[in-house]
Chains A and B, each alone.
Chain A
């Protein structure tokens, strides 16, 4: 731990020296490639070129580069022409159509960059809410529903939205208006730290790459430490996740982000061998067969037992319903969506606490027991 800190300090000092040496010649160039190297995230890459950083967004399905952007520091002359969309960094403003971006910008103390969001309904961050009420931030709706002209009026020339593999029609329109859209695939990351690493991209965008890198290093260390602790404690409660939507019960697939988290917390998740990185669906009959005896249930989607029964009274036939060990984040869902991605160490800490039962639970960051 200490060693690692020393090492990073050393690297930092080296760079600081390097920086000051080259200060005279390349003053406006981004020279922080080492900080920007992406380790855990699969769906984006930052590549250092002589006078710009190339951002590659990678298609999570096929693994090839879906889009490339050139992130260029203001005033830098590229010399040759590059066949990529250009983004001048730091950006003047950002339209953030995903809650995770809000959480990340919060960690970077860069909430003021946000000029547009989907809707006030999904915001938890106080500063952002305040900006909304002051009229500094616009409610624009999702990428498919928004009105491109209103995006222009926010003054922001960069939109980040949750990517779905296809290019939304609005993106074409926005492009013609000089607005660049970046698809955000953080939600498709499967590594528990992968989501959080997207903070590095935001760091470059708002010109706070150093801060982003430090934060990420800190939480990856915390995460590893917690993971190790969990392993030593050697407790394996059976756990059930998700809920019925219509006739089908959606659960995290075996290779998904959440399944990895559960396994890192040493929880025993019965569907851990299922294929896929998203979710898998099962009939209620399957769930009663496989998960009837599960000791824990997380993410039922509601905050109280009454609400749960109203959604489907058949839930009562799960043993866990009788033991009352059901936990959710629904009492503060917006907070969860904003912060869980960027605080994977807190999420893991919650899951470990759940694994060890009531007595050990000192502080839960996101989860809370269902109300009666």
Chain B
């Protein structure tokens, strides 16, 4: 009974996502015909303005919005389950910032190897991995959810100040490309990067399939999970790799996007009221993509009046979610 309801609801979310993706692809200054859209993919003519716009601007933007929303939300869910803390998320606990730091270092280094696309992704993923590990170490010392949150925020501020120092000491051109990158944007991806990103993304999703069972058991606590025969050491490693790939990959291309990873899993848990990670993961991916698409649609539609940065909108709904969780937890504790 309940299962059928979940499936229907998830299907509706998926349908809504498909519709909004098409709306998103259609949004912009230039009207693009279906035939141009089709040709842009299968018989691309570089001289045709509409085709160029569709293939090089619209498609990457919609694509990365979908991937970024899904990736960050999944990373957030993984962290929340793993740290057993509804306030965890890649941006708020400083994992995105760690990623940024490593991107900054590699961009400022000026070495071709490091400033290439491959170099930047690698740096971003390594940064996210190291910061997840750091969090893991810290989390073993603190018991309270809020303490971990504060540690994460401090870690982020600390890292930001290092980034600022690097910026102060670096040359103007490198600085330019990095500060821009820091705003959070869905427009820095190219058509030919879309496939490699998608492949990396799917590899992480593949790994995720093997994490569903451990995640479900982690709901009972790491100790009980181990008793139920889960290899916690291996799961930890896989989990951190997954979080690092999702966060790093997205951060490398879109900059640090705030709050999506934190807010979406909480919204999904509220909607689904389950701990089954099959549903939670799929729904988080769907809702995350939906949310980022909606945010970007708002930006696109307001473009002629005001140009808004992506993070201003994601924070607008993300920050209230944090407050809501804190209030809810406090009331829970009082009762």
Contacts and interface: CB of A to CB of B under 8 A. Distances in A.
Is the pairing of A and B real? yes
Interface string A292-310: 1000000001100001001
A289 B52 contact: no
A311 interface: yes
A286 B56 contact: no
A314 B57 contact: yes
Nearest to A311: B177
B137 interface: no
Contacts of B46: 317
B29 A247 contact: no
B210 to A, nearest CB: 36
Given A285-B30, A289-B30, A314-B190, A307 B173 contact: yes
Interface residues of A, number: 22
B53 A288 contact: yes
Contact of B303 (A121, A245, A283, A302): A283
A310 B307 contact: no
A75 interface: no
B327 to A, nearest CB: 35
A317 B185 contact: no
Given A283-B29, A285-B28, A313 B177 contact: no
Interface in A313-351: 313-314, 317
A246 interface: yes
Contacts of B52: 288, 292, 317
Nearest to B181: A246
A301 B172 CA distance: 11
Interface string A102-144: 0000000000000000000100000000000000000000000
Interface in A210-266: 245-248
A92 B29 CA distance: 56
Interface string A175-190: 0000000000000000
A245 B307 CA distance: 12
A317 B56 contact: yes
A281 B307 contact: yes
A288 B57 contact: yes
Contact of B29 (A281, A285, A307): A285
A247 B177 contact: no
B180 interface: yes
A284 B29 contact: no
A284 B53 CA distance: 9
Contacts of B56: 314, 317
Contact of A246 (B49, B53, B183): B183
Interface in B173-224: 173, 176-177, 180, 183, 185, 187-188, 190
Contacts of B53: 285, 288-289
Contacts of A288: 30, 49, 52-53, 57
Contacts of B176: 245, 301, 311
A322 to B, nearest CB: 9
A248 B304 CA distance: 12
B115 interface: yes
Contact of A247 (B28, B185, B190): B185
A326 B173 CA distance: 18
B185 A246 contact: yes
Given A248-B307, A314-B56, A284 B49 contact: no
A161 B183 CA distance: 29
A245 B180 contact: yes
A151 B30 CA distance: 53
A286 B307 CA distance: 14
A51 to B, nearest CB: 47
Contacts of A310: 115, 177
Contacts of B187: 247, 284
Interface in B282-311: 303, 307, 309
24 contacts: A245-B176, A246-B309, A247-B187, A281-B307, A283-B28, A283-B29, A283-B303, A285-B29, A285-B53, A285-B58, A288-B52, A288-B53, A288-B57, A289-B30, A289-B53, A292-B52, A301-B176, A310-B115, A310-B177, A311-B176, A311-B177, A312-B188, A314-B190, A317-B46
Interface of A: 121, 245-248, 281, 283-286, 288-289, 292, 301-302, 307, 310-314, 317
Interface of B: 28-30, 46, 49, 52-53, 56-58, 115, 172-173, 176-177, 180, 183, 185, 187-188, 190, 303, 307, 309
* Top 6 closest pairs, chain A to chain B, by CB: A246-B180, A247-B187, A317-B52, A285-B28, A289-B30, A286-B29
Given A283-B303, A314-B190, 17 more contacts: A121-B172, A246-B309, A247-B187, A247-B188, A285-B57, A286-B29, A288-B53, A292-B49, A292-B52, A302-B173, A307-B173, A310-B115, A310-B177, A311-B177, A314-B56, A317-B46, A317-B52
